[in-house]
Chain A
Amino acid sequence: MSLSNVSILVCDDSILARKQLKDVISSFSQEITIKEAANGQEAVDLYKQINPDLIFLDIVMPVKDGISAVQEIIDYDSDAEIIIVSSTGTQTQLKNAIEAGARDFIQKPFSDAQVNKVLKNHLGEE
């Protein structure tokens, strides 16, 4: 399956976390277009511009946190495929994220295998 039309938005305030995610996605397929956002507001704005197929979104971020960003993105596009990637996976936050519309959750520190599994589930086998 060609993934040349697939785009993924990676949103984390940490440039390191964004790089680590981008590296795994690029290893999965070099055809995927990857865009970056450094806070929740940037993610919402960029989502509206590019309508990505998948978003990886951190929770604790400046300007706008991940849960608020999920709510705004889902308000704009109820079919948005949002994956939360966070170190703070408390039951309450998981519940908030899922209720807001997130599809999945990856606990940091993440392994390549966890990210690959999500990519396969949402984009199909590469």
Chain B
Amino acid sequence: MYAQFFGAYLLSQGAITPEQLTDAIKALSDARIKLGTLAIHHGLMTASEVEEVCFLQTREDKKFGEIAVDRGYLTVAQVEELLETQTPDFLLLGQSLVDLNILDNASLEDLLIDYQNTTEICNMEDETDQDSDELIERFFKYANYPITKPAATYLRLLFNNLIRFIGPDYTPLSPVISDEVAIDFCVTQEMSGSSNFVASIDMSQDSAIDFASRYAKMDFVDFDEYVQASMEDFLNLHNGLFAVNMSNEYSVELDLAPPYVEQGSVLRLPPVSYVIPVIFPFGTINLIITIMEENEE
């Protein structure tokens, strides 16, 4: 989840505004990673060298890699290696921010280094559950909210399930603790046991159509009962998997209630409830999570 939380990190550092982040994520589907950004990320070129090659590209009818080799910044083998590199998603977000002139390459380079140092990323492909939990705890710390272990575990699975069932191209914005939230089209499911969980997922009907199309792998055009069912299924599936994990790992049994829908009203939330906006290119969804600890037996 390093990729998804890079945007939240940029916000926490004041490097960009939420509006700029939203614009960059919307532009993500058009963004193609550039060799220069990859070269910076791999420490093969500096930002100023990349800027120089980009400038030369406006004068010479050559590809970035060819000019970089001509200038001695990269070898042919390095260019080929970079072209074969799998693109980390957070680099795409960085690229998008540069393309929109929100960040320049030098700032992006500094921020990438800081982010990797802060999150102690060693190997992007080797992220453990503990890494993800720490990422989420840090995400809440930036927002000055403490987060409990069950909440972090719940959210880790939720963010992973968003990647698995909807797509990796999202960025969560800073969480807020709230006692009420205005909703558009909201699906809620309650789980009861030694801890009580209430989870809602709220979005516009337009966003729901895209969300459902991704989840069900079907092309929905209208907001219909299948779209609504897709939202309910996603939440039910996620909570079901969470219940299985809690049962297997902690011997905690949770009972799920059927999901229900509320529309166009204000939800009153019990303490402590987190509202986490998550931006996808198709729109923003709100995750609303309430966790009530340890019921008295």
Contacts and interface: CB of A to CB of B under 8 A. Distances in A.
Interface in A84-126: 86-92, 108-109
A62 B232 CA distance: 13
A60 B229 contact: no
Nearest to B257: A60
A87 B253 contact: no
B225 A60 contact: no
Interface residues of A, number: 19
Main secondary structure of the interface of B (DSSP, over half): helix
Contacts of A86: 240
Given A60-B258, A92-B247, A14 B240 contact: no
A91 B165 CA distance: 24
Interface of A is mostly: loop
A36 to B, nearest CB: 13
B248 A15 contact: no
A81 interface: no
* A16, A61, A86: residue with the most chain B Cβ atoms closer than 10 Å: A16
Nearest to B231: A16
A55 B125 CA distance: 41
Interface of B: 165, 216, 225-226, 229-230, 232-233, 236-237, 239-241, 243-244, 247-248, 253, 256-258
12 contacts: A14-B236, A15-B226, A16-B229, A17-B229, A60-B236, A87-B236, A87-B237, A88-B240, A88-B243, A89-B240, A89-B244, A90-B247
